[in-house]
Amino acid sequence: MYNSKIIGLGKYLPDNVVTNDDLSKMMDTNDAWIQERTGIKERRWIKEGTEDTSAVMGAKAAKIAIERAGLTKDDIDFIVFATLSPDYYFPGCGVQIQHLLEMPTIGALDIRNQCTGFVYAVSVADQFIKTGMYKNILVIGSEYHSGGLEKSTRGRGVTVIFGDGAGAAVLTREEDNTKGILSSHLHSEGKYAEELTVLGPSIKHWVPEILEANDPNDTSYYPYMNGTFVFKHAVVRFSEAIMEGLKTNNLQKEDIDMLIPHQANLRISQFIQKKFGLRDDQVFNNIQKYGNTTAASVIIALTEAWEEGKINDGDTVVLAAFGSGFTWGSVIMKW
């Protein structure tokens, strides 16, 4: 069996920067309140009138990743696209990537695991490569949150957190089993599904019903998050997923060269860093600039850390995420 390894990374962020002060003009909030609770200073939101969507941003990030991998679009055998904000209710964004990049009629798979989307997507791609079914797989995480946020005081607890953006990685075969992705670990606990959710539109709560009711108090189509509850579970599950990966590979906390956590909340990352006794240069955070980009956050952070020279050959890199579902997971790789 093969291992898989990442050979190309790319990211794309909209040009439109939205600061905490900008949000204070839309809702009752301020920079100090947002930074104290989340660590976020600004985020990127797609500006109305631009071409960007989840699929378009994903395609832009993918072009960079493919070029950096030294490949062409025709070398890609399969697409895995992770998002909670697809351009359409259906079909998913994966097929749009095949069209936007003018690829051959390769398969395209969509992952709907929200904040853990990229970790799940990488694990799927890794298994396809391990079995020899595919050689080069394009994995994308992309989110267009800003179009579905409640930009008012009522929605501030969620709205101040989320940003738009995309990242992509190209995975390929690695014959040396001591290199590349060593293991992935995935978990879920569906009884907490409604602690972080969008209840509608859905098959049970379809768009015409919302439009017909025209109820200003109906918030079911905006994201809801029980923030304190999610935070308490996140710090526990993050730690469990990381420890599970280390134990599987006979590694210790001290062996981590770079931890890339899902950028959910800077306070969660700081808690995990302290618990594992990691230095600042062993944990990469960019939530301050981009907010929580959900399925895109891990891949954007991984790409940025690599671009800044903070990940080098031979490093043990850990990806970890927790989010809606609840779902959580980790990926251990030798760069």
The answer to whether the CB of 179 falls within 8 A of the CB of 334 is yes
Mean pLDDT over residues 90-95, rounded? 96
Exactly one of 20, 113, 115, 233 is catalytic; name it: 115
Quote the pLDDT of residue 202: 72
Q: Which helix (H) or strand (E) holds 323?
A: strand 316-323
State in words which class domain 180-334 has. Answer: alpha beta
Active site residue 285: no
Q: What is the per-residue pLDDT for 298?
A: 98
| Residue appearing with tokens 């378009």 | 56
- The 10s digit of each residue's pLDDT in 204-227 is 666 666 666 767 777 776 778 898
292 is catalytic: yes
Tens of pLDDT along 5-52?
A: 999 999 999 999 999 999 999 999 999 999 999 999 999 999 989 999
Residue 104's pLDDT band (boundaries 50, 70, 90)? very high
Yes or no: say if 272 and 239 are a contact pair by the CB < 8 Å rule. yes
Identity (one letter) of the amino acid at 187?
A: H
Q: Is the pLDDT of residue 243 over 80?
A: yes
**Residues written for the chain:** 335
Q: Distance between CA atoms of 82 and 296, rounded to whole angstroms? A: 8
Q: What percent of the chain has pLDDT over 70?
A: 96
Average pLDDT value for residue range 254-259: 97
- For the chain, the maximum distance between any two Cα atoms, rounded to a whole number of angstroms, is 60
pTM, entire model: 0.93
Q: Is the pLDDT of residue 246 over 90?
A: yes
Residue 93 annotated as catalytic: no
Does this chain's domain 3-174 share its CATH topology with 180-334? yes
Tell me which amino acid residue 87 is.
D
At 199, the pLDDT band (50, 70, 90 cuts) reads confident
Q: Residue 293's closest CA among 334, 322, 269, 264?
A: 264
Could you report the per-residue pLDDT of 272-318, keeping only the tens digit for each? Answer: 999 999 999 999 999 999 999 999 999 999 999 999 999 999 999 99
pLDDT at 170 over 70: yes
Q: Which of 3, 136, 285, 292 is catalytic?
A: 292
Predicted confidence at residue 201, as pLDDT, reads: 72
Give the CATH superfamily of 3-174: Thiolase/Chalcone synthase (3.40.47.10)
pLDDT at 200 over 90: no
Closest to 46 in 3D by CA, of 38, 35, 57? 57
State the catalytic residue, choosing from 262, 265, 285, 286: 262
pLDDT of 72 higher than 70: yes
Domain boundaries, the chain: 3-174, 180-334
